[in-house]
Amino acid sequence: MKVGFISLGCNKNLVDTEKTIALFKEHNYEIVNNPEEAQIIVINTCGFIEPAKEEAINTILEMAEYKQKNCKYLIAMGCLVERYKEELEKEIPEVDLYIKYSSYNTLWSQIENLITNSKVEEKNEFEELVNRVITTGSNYAYLKIADGCSNCCTYCAIPHIRGPFKSRNIESILEEANKLADKGYQEIIVTAQDTTKYGIDIYGKPMLAKLLEELCKIKKIKWIRFLYAYPETITDELIQVIKQNPKICHYFDIPIQHIADQVLKRMNRKSDGESIRSLINKLRKELPDVILRTTVMVGFPGETKEEFEELYQFLEEAKFDKLGAFSYSKEEGTAASILKEQVHPSTKKSRYNKIMQLQQKVSRGNLESKIGKKFEVIIEGMTKNSKFYVGRSYMDTPEIDGVIYIPKTKELKIGQFVGCQIIEVKDYDLIGNIVAIS
């Protein structure tokens, strides 16, 4: 039978999708990209905030229409199902099987039960599975080192959905990384809900620095980057490991959420404004070429005009290279959902717009400062008109950040690294010429 997949939400969800694809392939199913060809459609859903839930439900409904055509089985899994399985079964009965995240240990048994219409022996094939079918192209792959979260921020439903923080052991991570390297993936993107807490639960101390050192020993890997470093667990040891190992990209994705102490306290964040400012200064001192990305939230319950202004002024001064912002979303089951002084939607929208307008100016200035500088760039594709190659430097995480356009003056291959000198800025992207890097 032919199977099609749709993966929604974060890169951690994508890794789960890739593992599920591998299970189907190992059991001799054919994987297809067009849902019209699929006899089985699998949707891995996101249920983090309201827009993600709406997207997931709309996708399920859209795929349910294929049940009237070629599709025989429709399967939904993931975070939305974890939160609302019973409601979904009642409201969208067209789905033949809903698989909660917490029951992934018997994921394949559940699928076989559906397709063979018989009771099969339950096997824990998913959790220990290292094999994946990478869906992100030939240059990079995500490497998930932990799941769940124990931070219990008052606005976030992830601990309710994914459970407490649970690290993988270093041996299994390195086994997977070596397999990815052998398959030709030159960039490994280490990911978890909170990468900097890696290892605390099983080794009794943070082990990200040690893990990165071990990954650097894999010869075929050229770039290593890690995402979602919480400010309170970025240690001096971690900074020094990054400083000493040229394979590790000088790139930090630090979701600070806010800068005003009282807002951070109501969010149950573990850092305060002073420690965040100090960390940013330290990173820029220790790693002068460091790229800093962050995420901030506006409109958290009780956020005053003064607290928002403090955030705005901080972002104006800090000049983050990359920034994502979102308005507070009231999520049921979270501590923040019952807080008084919920901010009016129009106020949240206004504050969000102000932050994004500011960041547009900041980003432009940061990018213009790169003109004339040389960077090593990995070639990932071409524009539709075939006039430019599209590449990335260490400064850009794929699918999240910008790209570098390079005029096609010679033949290059996908996955090739070239020297590039920046000559122009275009919105959030750069344009450069091929040069040798001395």
pLDDT for position 206: 95
Any idea where the domains of the chain sit in the sequence? 2-116, 140-368, 374-435
| DSSP, res 319 | -
pLDDT for position 273: 97
Q: Are strands 417-426 and 374-382 parallel, antiparallel or unpaired?
A: antiparallel
SS3 label, residue 429: strand
Q: Which residue has the higher pLDDT, 343 or 66?
A: 343
Supply 336's token pair: 């923040």
Burial classification of residue 376, based on how many CB atoms lie within 10 Å of its CB (0-12 exposed, 13-18 middle, 19 or more buried):
middle
Continuous H helices in 65-184: 79-91, 107-116, 158-162, 170-182
H-run or E-run covering 226:
strand 223-226
CA distance 113 to 79: 22
Q: How confident is the model at residue 120 (pLDDT cuts 50, 70, 90)?
A: low
Instruction: Say which residue the tokens 């920046």 belong to.
Output: 422
Q: Is the pTM of this model over 0.75?
A: yes
Fold observed for domain 374-435: OB fold (Dihydrolipoamide Acetyltransferase, E2P) (2.40.50)
CATH number for region 2-116? 3.40.50.12160
Report the first-to-last Cα separation within the chain, whole angstroms: 53
Burial classification of residue 37, based on how many CB atoms lie within 10 Å of its CB (0-12 exposed, 13-18 middle, 19 or more buried):
middle
Q: How confident is the model at residue 283 (pLDDT cuts 50, 70, 90)?
A: very high
Average pLDDT over residues 391-420: 95
CA distance 394 to 405: 15
pLDDT for position 159: 92
Fold observed for domain 140-368: pyruvate-formate lyase- activating enzyme (3.80.30)
pLDDT for position 48: 84
Largest CA distance in the chain: 65
**What percentage of residues in the chain have a pLDDT greater than 70?**
97
SS3 label, residue 50: helix
Q: How confident is the model at residue 190 (pLDDT cuts 50, 70, 90)?
A: very high
Answer yes or no: is pLDDT of 438 > 70: no
